């Protein structure tokens, strides 16, 4: 069953990414990437992950815009998905890249401190 959920999640991600790129005109959605999706076990909800170039506020604005348009997005992608029920869409920030950058900075700072003490 997980294989089908993953395929459906991938299809949802692709459809939303195309919609955002080609048809949505909200300025808060410029330079936004749909990075992933997860479908609940009962197929009722899809969590859709979003990243955006820029600062944290830009990402929050993009997620807000997508959640405001979730009904529209759901109606637009429905004809392209072969599902009896289209899941309710919940957009969430994907801050994986930002967390990775913070960790890298912590490691660099730690290495610099260690290098300073060695000499």
Per-domain residue ranges of the chain: 2-118
Separation of alpha carbons 77 and 32, rounded Å: 18
pLDDT of 65 strictly over 80: yes
Beta strands 45-52; 88-93: pairing state: parallel
Q: Tokens in use for 102?
A: 């913070």
Query: Which superfamily is assigned to 2-118 in CATH?
Result: K homology (KH) domain (3.30.300.20)
CA nearest to 93, candidates 43, 44, 32: 32
**Quick check: helix, strand or coil at residue 86?**
coil
- pLDDT tens-place string over residues 17-64: 999 999 999 999 999 999 999 999 999 999 999 999 988 899 999 999
pTM: 0.80
């Amino acid at each position: 069953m997980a294989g089908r959920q993953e395929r459906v999640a991938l299809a949802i991600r692709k459809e939303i990414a195309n919609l955002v790129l080609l048809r949505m005109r909200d300025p808060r959605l410029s330079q936004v990437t749909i990075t992933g999706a997860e479908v609940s076990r009962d197929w009722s909800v899809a969590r859709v992950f979003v990243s955006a170039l820029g600062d944290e506020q830009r990402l929050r604005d993009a997620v807000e815009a997508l959640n405001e348009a979730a009904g529209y997005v759901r109606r637009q992608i429905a004809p392209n998905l072969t599902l009896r029920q289209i899941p309710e869409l919940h957009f969430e920030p994907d801050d994986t890249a930002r967390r990775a950058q913070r960790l890298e900075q912590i490691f660099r700072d730690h290495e610099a401190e260690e290098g300073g003490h060695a000499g």
